[in-house]
């Protein structure tokens, strides 16, 4: 598939797809809560479907009803037979289920993986869960994950990962144990927000979270739009002369809006406004063409709040005046691809002037974007979407050879991208 250059301004009201992170967590937490509840606007991406299928295989009852589903909570459910569960390529599924299964299974359970997930290290997950006396085995450092029957105990843990944090919280809530989690850099807080919404006994300070024995009570959850998907369309509006985008009802979780804060510092014309919501931080975003983007220095600590956005940030930086400096973090290497390597490859293909040394990426701008090449996006949905947005501005089209992986997080991406050409 070849990208298409955009030559006219667009002004659109854009509805991003349902948030993937919240969809995973809503399915799991309502499955272990007491009572029946509806999830509205559940994501239909491949990763979330993996979690839903896994929960059904374990024995939880989930009924699909078009664009929503009904979850029949079963806090007493136990696994009393060996089984293998296919997590596909979903890192969220395999990590969160590790915590759940460890707490409810009397038998050895195997969590299988495919393709990119087989190359994603799970050492940090194993180390954190071991603090709770949870016994898991890896294939060296990687999936599949074998979960052994374990006697879970109270624990104090540290982690830099929102998914590992969620696995710990799930294991604690299901086993009735107390967990205290310390974070040097606060990550997305969807799990603790949903837990509090469902009645968990949870205390939180600036960098410490404590969950005590609790009973969850089911409530309706309406999943907001996904900021991690919307950011590609925000980038298109910021970079395209005369363009404007309005987005309503999307997640503005404080662990997710690092990219918005960075764009604001770069002089992008972007604003966001919180709306009332009992479950999580949700609101509206507006952004428009920003002809005077400026380069800034970006500290690594904020990257924990924008772990998926490095590639699109690097693309935006190519149009900023001056030299943007980004201090990178090693966690970027353990995603669907090595996102540091993938981002540098994109910059090379676009013929962008940059320097990478001592884990600091320096991008000099503004630059013309050169196309005329083929790319498979390293089979990474975030890299693929970045290439499609780059193709809006390249002198020649980019031929993308594997767009199927967009289904992992955003099945409607190509359809929504066409809105930029239709709404002038």
- Residue 384 token pair: 């693929």
Domains of the chain: 11-16+224-422 (3.65.10.10), 20-221 (3.65.10.10)
Residue 222 to residue 214: CA distance in whole angstroms = 23
Residue 324 to residue 87: CA distance in whole angstroms = 38
Bond into 366 cis (ω within 30):
yes
Report, as residue numbers or ranges, the catalytic residues.
308
Please give the pLDDT value at position 285.
98
**Residues 152, 158, 163, 165, CA torsion sign:** positive
Given the DSSP bridges, would you call strands 282-288 and 297-298 parallel, antiparallel or unpaired? unpaired
Q: For residue 382, how many C-alpha atoms fall within 13 Å in the half-sphere facing its CB?
A: 22
Residue 299 buriedness (CB in 10 A; 0-12 / 13-18 / 19+): exposed
Please give the pLDDT value at position 424.
53
* Residue 386 CA, distance from chain mean position: 15
- Residue 110 token pair: 């195997």
Question: Contact 179/169 with Cβ under 8 angstroms?
Answer: yes
Taking Cα atoms as reference points, which of 99, 106, 111, 125 lies closest to residue 53?
Answer: 111
Any residues with CB less than 8 A from the CB of 348 and at least 6 apart, and which?
none
* Residue 216 CA, distance from chain mean position: 25
SS3 call for 81: coil
Length of the chain: 424
Listing DSSP states for 200-242 in one string gives --EEE-SSEEEE-S---B---EE--B-HHHHHHHHHHHHHSTT
Q: For the full predicted model, state whether its pTM sits above 0.85.
A: yes
Please give the pLDDT value at position 289.
98
The neighbouring-strand residues paired with 275 are 282
Average pLDDT for runs of 10 along the chain of length 424? 94 97 98 98 97 98 93 97 97 98 97 95 97 96 97 96 97 97 91 97 91 96 97 98 97 95 98 94 98 96 90 98 95 88 96 94 96 95 97 97 92 95 72
Helix (H) or strand (E) holding 50: helix 46-58
Taking Cα atoms as reference points, which of 88, 52, 82 lies closest to residue 69?
Answer: 52
Please give the pLDDT value at position 67.
82
Q: What is the distance in angstroms between the CA of the first residue and the CA of the last residue of the chain?
A: 23
**Residues 195, 198, 202, 205, CA torsion sign:** positive
Neighbours of 421 (CB within 10 A): 13
């Amino acid at each position: 598939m070849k990208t298409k250059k955009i030559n006219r301004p667009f002004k659109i009201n854009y509805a991003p797809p349902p948030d993937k992170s919240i969809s995973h967590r809503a399915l799991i937490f309502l499955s272990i809560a007491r009572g029946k509840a509806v999830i509205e606007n559940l994501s239909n991406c491949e990763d979330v479907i993996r979690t839903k299928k896994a929960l059904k295989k374990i024995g939880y009852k989930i009924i699909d009803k078009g664009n929503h589903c009904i979850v029949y909570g079963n806090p007493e459910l136990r696994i009393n037979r060996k089984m293998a569960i296919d997590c596909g390529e979903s890192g969220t599924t395999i990590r969160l289920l590790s915590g759940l299964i460890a707490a409810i299974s009397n038998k050895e359970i195997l969590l299988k993986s495919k393709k990119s997930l087989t190359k994603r290290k799970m050492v940090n997950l194993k180390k954190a869960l071991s603090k709770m006396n949870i016994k898991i085995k890896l294939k060296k450092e990687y999936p599949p994950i074998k979960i052994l029957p374990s006697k879970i105990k109270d624990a104090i843990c540290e982690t830099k990962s929102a998914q590992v944090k969620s696995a710990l919280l799930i294991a604690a809530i299901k086993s009735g144990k107390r967990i205290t989690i310390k974070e040097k850099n606060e990550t997305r807080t969807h799990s603790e927000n949903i837990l509090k919404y469902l009645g968990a006994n949870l205390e939180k300070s600036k960098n410490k979270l404590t969950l005590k024995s609790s009973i969850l009570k089911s409530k309706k959850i309406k999943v907001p739009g996904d900021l991690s998907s919307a950011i590609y369309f925000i980038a298109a509006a910021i970079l395209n002369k005369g363009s404007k985008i309005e987005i309503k009802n999307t997640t503005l979780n404080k662990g997710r809006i690092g990219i918005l804060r960075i764009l604001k510092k770069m002089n992008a014309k972007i604003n966001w406004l919180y709306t009332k919501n009992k479950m999580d931080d949700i609101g509206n975003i507006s952004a428009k063409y920003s002809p005077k983007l400026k380069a800034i220095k970006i500290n690594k600590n904020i990257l924990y709040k924008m772990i998926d956005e490095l590639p699109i940030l690097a693309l935006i930086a190519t149009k900023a005046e001056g030299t943007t400096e980004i201090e990178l973090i090693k966690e970027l290497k353990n995603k669907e691809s090595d996102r540091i390597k993938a981002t540098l490859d994109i910059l090379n293909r676009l013929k962008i002037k940059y320097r990478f040394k001592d884990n600091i990426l320096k991008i000099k701008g503004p630059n013309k974007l050169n196309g005329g090449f083929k790319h498979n996006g390293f089979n990474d949905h975030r890299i693929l979407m970045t290439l499609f947005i780059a193709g809006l501005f390249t002198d020649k089209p980019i031929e993308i050879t594997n767009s199927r992986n967009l289904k992992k997080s955003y099945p409607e991406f190509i359809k929504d991208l066409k809105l930029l050409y239709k709404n002038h």
